[in-house]
Amino acid sequence: MERTEDYTTEEVMQSRKARKFNLWLGMIGMFMMFAALSSGFIVYTASGVDKGIKTILPNTFIYSTIVIVASSLILHLGYRATKLEQFGKQKLYLLLTIVLGVVFFVLQLDAWSVLTERGVYFVNNNASQSFIYVFTGMHLAHIIAGLIVLVRCLWGALKPIPYPDNLFRMNLAAIFWHFLDLLWIYIYVFLLLNQ
């Protein structure tokens, strides 16, 4: 991995600060969207139009929770390896995180399959049940974005790009992926409490 000093110029530092700020703004926006969905669900079920989700969540959600937490821990190890300039470990941990991200995605699709087998559909007589698909579907869309960020990180580590750029990409990827992990835990606990 190259180390060059011209990557510490004021212009580059300002650009990095702006990109990190934009990431935080995006995550705040995502959190607000899920908070609005949660509020909408609570208001809808409190109105008495239907009686709540009235279904037991698939066990697959437990497995996917374990997988995404593990992926977050592994990515943290990858970020730490990058800081220590252990680039072989960085690549390995990034690859493992991507694989676990794909496994999480597949498990979520499997959970949808279990739900449809139980007669829980996106469009049905119980709109509260549709919220399961809305919450998990919106989260999956963000998982796809997270996987793209991770693949871009891995690609940069394989090229290799200059060390400061590599570390900065890993930092942004780790922040975003950890956020997706926490967001899933919030969604899962919310759905559990309302099942």
Domain with residue 38: its CATH number is 1.20.120.80
Find the mean pLDDT for residues 62-85. Answer: 96
Find the mean pLDDT for residues 30-49. Answer: 85
Residues 146-184, buried b or exposed e (16+ Cβ, 10 A)?
bbebbeebbebbeeebbbbbbbbbbbbbbebbbbbbebb
Q: What pLDDT is recorded for position 53?
A: 62
Strands (E), the chain: none
Q: What pLDDT is recorded for position 51?
A: 63
Which of 18-32, 33-47, 84-98 is least confident?
33-47
Output the average pLDDT for the chain. 88
| Structural domain includes residue 6 | no
Task: Decide if 68 contacts 147 (C-beta within 8 A).
Answer: no
- The pTM (predicted TM-score) of the whole model is 0.87
Judged against a pLDDT cut of 80, whether residue 123 lies above it is answered with: no
Distance CA 56, CA 54 (A): 7
Find the mean pLDDT for residues 74-83. Answer: 96
Q: What pLDDT is recorded for position 2?
A: 46
> Which structural domain, as residue segments, surrounds residue 69?
22-193
Counted domains in the chain: 1
| Structural domain includes residue 86 | yes
Q: What pLDDT is recorded for position 5?
A: 47
| Structural domain includes residue 75 | yes
| Structural domain includes residue 8 | no
- 131-155 per-position pLDDT tens digit: 888 899 999 999 999 999 999 999 9
